[in-house]
Amino acid sequence: MSDMPIAYSDDETMVLEFLDHWEGGNIDVLLGYFAEGASYIDMPLPPRHGKDQIRMYLDNVFSAFAVRIETLNIASRDSVIFTERVDYLQSNADPSVVVPLPVTGVMEVRDGKIVAWRDYLDLRTAEEGLGITIRPIQNA
């Protein structure tokens, strides 16, 4: 990550390190940043609760594309960390395809671990850019 924003708290530092680790795609390293009962949601996808569900989601993500995160801004109030980012999604099927996805994220941190993470993004940008369906299939 280049030009990393300056962290003003230990929680902000932890979040920046966590986001930087996405580029390696090491799920065990990423899961180490989450508290046991953590929740993670990419709006508008359904939430994932607990490390097992988060692991399954990350397995699906990294089987379809690699992720490099550029954090533009970070701010916090108490234990809530806000990030403005561009997540670069690189297709595993065609590595020449890289989709820049603007994201705003909100993480709640307790005792140095992520307890809740909400990302706000345009899922269609990712789907159309990568040529895949990320949305859960809806029953008719």
Q: What is the CATH number of the domain that holds 68?
A: 3.10.450.50
- Counting beta carbons within 10 angstroms of the beta carbon of residue 52, is it exposed (0 to 12), middle (13 to 18) or buried (19 or more)? exposed
Q: Residue 70: give the domain boundaries.
A: 10-129
Determine, yes or no, domain membership for 137.
no
Domain count, the chain: 1
pTM of the model: 0.90
Residue type, 2: S
**Is-contact 90 64, C-beta < 8 A?**
no
Contacts of 106 (CB under 8 A, 6+ apart): 80, 81, 82, 83, 116, 117, 118, 119, 120
Determine, yes or no, domain membership for 2.
no
Structure tokens at 89: 């999604």
Contacts of 30 (CB under 8 A, 6+ apart): 18, 21, 22, 58
Walk along the chain (140 residues) and give the pLDDT tens digit of each residue. 446 688 789 999 999 999 999 999 999 999 999 999 999 999 889 999 999 999 999 999 999 999 999 999 999 999 999 999 999 999 999 999 999 999 999 999 999 999 999 999 999 999 999 998 887 655 44
